[in-house]
Structure 1
């Protein structure tokens, strides 16, 4: 069973996402467990303050180390500590596979300008960015990382083969998908997909994946080409 501990100022944020869809079913089947930890419990003063102005000046607030130290020390255990941050290592499918080797995770959801650097220095094993953009809080990124990890849990996906055909596996984006009806508004499903020739369908899908990756993500295409050339040598 995978265990996900989430330290956050907004525990209610996770109520719906972790109870619906594949995630909710995984919890019901005992494939994973979530522990939502309200950081406000260790806040200071009458108003349970967890943030303060940054030393050196600047805009925004920073989550204080005191409450975070207490929350992490009490709940971390042997968990791998992950801090989603725009300053972190970029999340890739390869990194997801690496993280999946762990059994228990403790996520720190940052807010405002982030968290005190001393928390990172003391506790954080992985500082991870989900992309080159800014979100309103670490909760959004935490859900993204958790979902990416859960997809590798045996029994989480109804069809495990889907994992092997998704975007980013083997550095290629996924091929186009079609379903019924066969034609709509003059747009028809490619004939090859209804030919029944599975080898030709496989080849067509590979070609479309390569075309899309080359056009949309040339960085991934270069990785794909390098790996392909290495295998063929």
Structure 2
């Protein structure tokens, strides 16, 4: 069953003041992602992969096209509807430190989205956090440390725990393991696959590493100059 459908998605930018130059960052992209499946998006740096992801998540506005999530056109969502969508669609960035407040303990970092979205009562918070760190295979002694005291792999697990607190149906992994050493990278990829099996999450997996993408994904779209030019 289709979870996400992207139809003729375009994102154009314009540079210059007098002689404006049109930059077609995304130029007519179409794809579907089924529930519990992973689509890989690969291509060289600057081909438009991340722009596609940010547009789908409504972090930037599309120039043209439709984004249909669970049979609902989300292209023009505003206000409360857009905030609600944020619980269902999430992103894992390349650098986990950029997703965490350096002055906030890990416990509070995981707690923050639960409180913002009022997803559990105060009495349930501690139990919920302990369950989340167990799911991502973190030791509870790390909860009262700060981000700079954790390794890159541990930080990415914290980010994933924060995301899981929102019970998302769709996650973009944007070069989510590219900064990790090969062993830790494999552990995080295995975790993502396990979470997909356990919770039925769908992924858009963005990478330049074809070996990783082929192992992780059910289908692969290859991008170049803002367009999907091939499928595998």
TM-score normalized with structure 2 length: 0.23
Structure index of larger Rg: 1
**Greater per-residue strand proportion:** 2
TM-score normalized with structure 1 length: 0.23
